[in-house]
Structures are given as C-alpha cells and as structure tokens.
Amino acid sequence: MHKPGMANFLTTDIYALTAEEYSLGRNNVEVVELLIAAGIKVIQYREKDKKAGQMYAECLRIREMTKKAGVTFIINDHIDLAMLIGADGVHVGQEDLPPTKVRELIGSDMILGLSTHSPAQVKAAVELGCIDYIGVGPIFATHTKKDVCEPVGLTYLEYVAKNHQIPFVAIGGIKEHNIREVKQCGAKIIAIVTDIVGASDIPAKVQSIRQTINQQ
C-alpha cells in the first residue's frame, strides 16, 4: 500500500532531525524552515523535554510548513501527537510501545519506523510485517540522546545493507567528516542531527554535506 510521504523517504539522501538545544538559540520551527529551504525532504521531530502543549503548538506549525512544501514529517515517540497533527509517520524505539500496537493506533496509512541495534532486532522488525523502515545505529557515539546504547559501528550497518530489503536510515554520530564511510557501507539514507542544526548557515551546510556524499 502506498503511504503518503514514503516516496520522499525512498528517494532522499539526508534524514534530518530537530534538536533544539544544539540549534544555536533557534527554535524548532525556525530550524525546520531552514531545512525546507535547504531542500531536505524528510524531517523527524525529536523533542524529549518540552511540555505536551508546547510540542503540540510547535508540531502543528511544522505540519503546516512541511505539508505545503511536500516534505515528509515524522514524529519521534509521541504517537498521540503524531495522530493529532496528522503527521506522515511516527518513529519508536525498542523500549517504547510494541510496534504492532502502535500500528493498531495509527492505522495503515501512517509510516512506522523502528530503531534497531542488532541483527536479532532487524530480523524481528522484518517479521512483524508492520514496520515501514528501520533505524540502524547508533553507528558512532552520539550525545543527542540521553538513553542511547553503545555504538553498533559500521559492521551492523553493512550486515543490514547486505542481508535485508527493508528500507533503513543510518543514524548516530554521523557528521560530514565520516559520512562517506557510512555511505560506502551501504547506507542510502543518512540521519544527521547536530552537524546540520548546529550550523550557522543550515542551507550551506546541507549543500556541503550533499557534495561530500556524492564525491566519487
């Protein structure tokens, strides 16, 4: 079944995430505006410490912006928020609600992503039959998540790329200086957080990262 927003996911190179504490004083709405201007086609809202009402108001505005620009908008963890604002999808972790139950809540049209950290987890994700894409990582050490597991490295990334057909995004500590090796291990969609949101000129940084990705 075709899911709105999945076409962007399957054709993009960069999967951008919000991280307000690293955004040089800019709020998430301002950052998303710059991401859209930079040509980013998939954006995940990841926010752990804000009040629900504040997140709702912010995501409502971002949903308007992304819809108008034809950008896929995914919300991390907050299934209720994703449903309320009509996001394209939701992304959950291994310790969140079971994906089958999340799928029951969100219905068949919304994208469902699941973080994975091992071959056993990707196998289980595929067998569930309700996951649209997986996160593969953290590839390198990352500080943007407080409860993150140890880096899984490039070996797990290579394993997923060679052994599974499910769409995946490589994530965790990826920056312009190490992005080529991530691509060389089979990643087509690469999540970048602080290297983009922490740039003084976000569109210029995105352009620079894309040039690095496409270098032969």
Please list the active-site residues: 46, 115, 145
Helices (H), 70-114: 79-85, 99-106
For residue 84, give the amino acid letter. L
DSSP character at residue 94:
T
Query: Buried b / exposed e across 17-47, counting CB within 10 Å, b at 16+?
Result: bbbbebbeebebbebbbbbbebebbbbbbbb
- What is the distance in angstroms between the CA of the first residue and the CA of the last residue of the chain? 35
CB atoms within 10 A of CB 9: 22
Contact indicator for 82, 47 with CB cutoff of 8 Å: no
